[in-house]
A and B are shown apart, each in its own frame.
Chain A
Amino acid sequence: MSIISLKNINYTYPLEEKQTIHSFSLDLEKGCVYGLTGANESGKTTICNIIRGFIPELYKGELTGEVMIKGKNINDYNIGDLATIIGYSFQNPFTQLSGVKDTVYEEIAYGMENIGVSRDKMIQKVNEILKMFQLEDLIDKNPFELSGGQKQRVAIASVVALDPEIIILDEPTSQLDPKSTEDIFEIIQLLKKQGKTILLVEHKVDLLAAYCDEILLISCGELVMQGPVKEILSDPKVVEYGGQLPQVALYFIKKAEANGSSASQVPLTVQEVYDHLNKDGEA
């Protein structure tokens, strides 16, 4: 059974004539990392909001179709309790902080306070999360005084503290420098190892290629391509739909074109090329 299943979703924002999402169907399997990519305004964030139930709970508008979370219709969940099943973290590090806590330690505990976890359990979990996200040095700092990258790590940590099975990350690295971006991707790797299902919205396809299992490409509100990373991110059709291909893939595609051969299943990352060369070396 799919952990998330969208069936024929159509959605129009209030006061707008144009449909933002059309006939969108999608099944996400437990424990996989999905990279959701596509041009700006193609509907990526809207899809995340539908999966999380913010649409139609907080945004009105016209929504048809069915959202199933763990085999149960989303309407049968209480929106507050969904936080323990689906974690959701956003682009802007600043607005994600609760704004009511003055230390990183308490910020991370905030979600657990809201669902009434006992204090002892909370302390244990916070310490575990601090270690996992390497935030131990920052526990007494005011979250607002952290750098963008640190804030983003705290924000994701606070969501993961609720132990959700599914985690949606909407462009978590767009405001971050390369080092902080890498830190976030390391965390994604860790979460995958813990068996979390991850939906990652991201423009940086070179990183998606390295960390995702599957790619979902969305264009003008429609799911136009979906499949294993290898298959999608080596297909020039991605560019036609407003997406982009990893640099390494682009090179191999062009190289194949120059040689007149077909370009299916090209390497996508430097690591892949490196591993391939070294294997040949051993052989």
Chain B
Amino acid sequence: MDSRIGNLYPSSKFTFIILIILLSMFVPGFIFQYMIFLFIFLISLFSGTAIKFLATFMKSIPILIIFIFIFQVFLIVNEDSQQIWAFIHFSQIGLMTSLTMTSKIVAISSSIIWFFQVTRVKDIVYALEQSGVSQKVTFVIASTIQLIPQMLNLSRTIADAQKSRGIETEGNLFVRAKAFIPMIGPLVLSSIQQIEERVLALESRAFSSKAKKTSIYELKKQKFDYIIMIFCILVLIVYIVWRIKL
């Protein structure tokens, strides 16, 4: 994560992707939206997250796109559909629909992926707290994010413990299904157990104190944050005015 983009205030980056999302939704056609993808890719190159960005994007989005194309172009029957074979048709309208649809998905998903790759969860939590979101909400967000890797570790240990008892946890679907209860059981039971202990531990750190909370972590808005925000809002206004005039 490039420190200059990483250290921007979350709401600046958030305003930026909101602008991108709005524009992708309202600009007609699909060329602009696909350009957005290239643009976001360039920004992630600049943010130092390009490889991570491509990896995450490629793992999830292309499958969805291919699915939409097949569905729209070959399966759904439009006015201009021409039968190819049995239930398979080709439709020019379908092709256009899928291009518009997928271009929006690509633009929006790529900007969201980029946002989460260049913004620390802790910054989001901090920004939420500063903007007055309840401590309980931010606690849930922060603890969920921190605890997911711990749950993964725990499930690995449980798998090992059950394997040592002769329970097969690897193999075909049937074998895995049989191992489901021995795997999930301890995970649920010990998680409940841990919650009880964690409640006490949090209470020992004055969790329920009525005082106004402070934060040792600090993130300040920089000049650049204001520039981005103003820029984004200006672009949005210019676009709206331009559309209305048309």
Contact = CB atoms under 8 A, between A and B. Distances in A.
B194 A95 contact: yes
A90 B201 contact: yes
A257 to B, nearest CB: 44
Number of chain B interface residues as a range:
20 to 34
Contacts of B197: 90, 92, 95-96
A162 interface: yes
A84 B214 contact: no
Contacts of B199: 58
B205 A111 contact: yes
B146 interface: yes
Interface in B201-240: 201-218
B200 A114 contact: no
Interface stretch (A20-28, A118-126, A174-182): A118-126
Contact of B213 (A83, A94, A114): A114
A100 interface: yes
A98 B202 contact: yes
B150 interface: yes
Contacts of B215: 113, 119
A83 B203 contact: yes
B147 interface: yes
B203 A80 contact: yes
Interface in B15-40: none
A171 to B, nearest CB: 12
A251 interface: no
A94 B151 CA distance: 12
Interface string B147-179: 101100000000000000000000000000000
Contact of A84 (B122, B203, B206, B208): B206
B131 interface: no
Contact of B198 (A87, A95, A105): A95
Given A58-B200, A90-B201, A95-B201, A105 B216 contact: yes
Contact of A115 (B143, B150, B206): B206
Interface string A152-186: 00010011001000000000000000000000000
Contacts of A83: 203-206, 209
A100 B60 CA distance: 28
B211 A115 contact: yes
A101 to B, nearest CB: 8
B204 A159 contact: yes
Contact of B218 (A111, A119, A155): A119
B46 interface: no
A242 B142 CA distance: 44
Contacts of B142: 99-101
B174 to A, nearest CB: 34
B119 to A, nearest CB: 14
Given A95-B198, A105-B216, A159 B205 contact: yes
A5 B44 CA distance: 62
Contact of A88 (B139, B146, B200, B213): B200
Contacts of B147: 99
Contact of A79 (B150, B203, B218): B203
Given A88-B204, A90-B197, A114-B205, A80 B216 contact: no
A97 B201 contact: yes
Given A96-B201, A116-B211, A144-B149, A109 B206 contact: no
**Nearest 6 pairs of A and B residues by beta carbon:** A80-B209, A111-B205, A116-B211, A83-B206, A80-B208, A95-B197
Interface of B: 122, 139, 142-143, 146-147, 149-150, 194, 197-218
17 contacts: A78-B210, A79-B208, A80-B206, A83-B203, A90-B197, A98-B205, A99-B142, A100-B146, A102-B122, A106-B217, A113-B214, A114-B213, A116-B213, A116-B214, A119-B215, A119-B216, A159-B204
Given A81-B210, A90-B197, A111-B205, 19 more contacts: A78-B209, A79-B203, A80-B207, A87-B204, A88-B200, A96-B197, A98-B205, A99-B142, A99-B147, A102-B146, A109-B216, A112-B216, A114-B213, A115-B211, A116-B211, A119-B215, A119-B216, A122-B216, A158-B205
